[in-house]
Structure 1
């Protein structure tokens, strides 16, 4: 039994994987900040429209409403673009690592005579009972980290 959800855990996970994810997160900080600023501007404009709805000129209100709709479309588009770019970049970054982790997991299981390894992250509700001794997650992560230190290149194995 193994739980792959723990592989990306900040404190107890696979160091190279954690570093790769953090690196991609850092790359996308400017986009995240831009989206947050746009959202704040939308919220401010919404509040302004609501506060002046009864006293403002209808033409001015319509202009502000049109501006808000344009901002919402921009926010939606930029958010979708950022999410797609993030997912692509994350896959490029961690894909090779996951391949290496998979190979290492196969070798780990073979070396311990394990013929079937179930991922608790994928089938958790189907596991009705299991002892801690059956869970090899910590042992695998420790072995992988010792053979593949986090200070090694995060670009992936063999690069």
Structure 2
């Protein structure tokens, strides 16, 4: 705006100079911009809450249904792995029970067969475990987004000013009053909002694939949300 005014004034001065030799007054300098007022922080009463977020995700009714779905998917593979593991154990017992008159060639052949089957067992168990963990991670990611929205709404509606996640084993909270833990409250709030009923207890056979010796093991809890 100031620049436009200055240009118009300059043009006016030029026209006046052509029509009459009268002297025109100099344009006033532009005013310096006013600095914004500084923001003054204000202290407010603190209301702190704690939540075990990782555990809460799969503790919801919908989360339990998701876990059981993943477990059911891998039941056939688990049965195959268990059958192969039993076969390897049986072959080892047969080897140990061989009489002293058994030839070295026979023992070597049995050992080679056991080694081949045991390696296959470990590969199958590791592959199944990797696939199981990936599916569990995917299910956790989908559920975590939903539970996170409920969690944020809950703490905002209840006037909390700070929320700390104590899911990990290494968290900075050494002690807190039990009343500050809102994990169960968030789980109940999500169950109410989702309308998903609690699933029946899983059958003993509906478990994750059992890793063989040397195979990778699944974590006890789902990976932490990014």
TM-score normalised by the shorter chain: which range applies?
A: 0.7 to 0.9
Aligned residues: 148
Calculate the aligned-residue CA RMSD, in Å. 1.9
Summarize deviations over 1:117-153 as a string: whole Å, max 9, x none: 22222156643221111011111111110001225xx
| Deviation at residue 35 of structure 1 after TM alignment | 0.9
**Superposed, which structure 2 residues align to 1:3-82 within 5 Å?**
3-7=52-56, 13-52=59-98, 54-82=100-128
> Residues 53, 108 of structure 1: CA spacing in aligned structure 2 closer, same or farther, 3 A cutoff?
farther
* 1:135 has 2:181 as partner: yes
Cα distance change on mapping 1:47 and 1:54 into 2, 3 Å:
same
- Unaligned segments of structure 2, at least 5 residues: 1-49, 198-226
Q: What are the Cα deviations for residues 27-66 of structure 1, in whole angstroms up to 9, with x where unaligned?
A: 1011111111111111111111111163322111111100
Distance 2:169 2:161 in 1: 18
Higher-RCO chain (CA-CA 8 Å, sequence separation at least 6)? 1
Structure 1 position 101 matched with structure 2 position 150: no
Question: Greater helix share, 1 or 2?
Answer: 1
| Structure 1 contact 8–17 (Cα < 8 Å) conserved | yes
**How far off its partner does 1:5 sit?**
4.8
SS in 1 for 2:160: coil
Change (3 A) 1:123 1:83: closer
Residue 8 of structure 1 and its aligned partner are, at CA, apart by 5.7
TM-score, normalised relative to structure 2 = 0.60
Tell me the equivalent position of 1:92: 138
- 3-state SS, counterpart of residue 164 of structure 2: coil
Deviation readout 1:15-34 (Å, 9 max, x if unpaired): 00010001100110111111
> Is the Cα contact below 8 Å between 1:53 and 1:61 reproduced in 2?
no
Structure 1 residues 142 and 81, CA, compared in 2 at 3 Å: closer, same or farther?
Answer: same
**Counterparts of 2:99 and 2:163, CA distance in 1:** 62
Secondary structure of the 1:133 match is helix
Larger Rg: 2
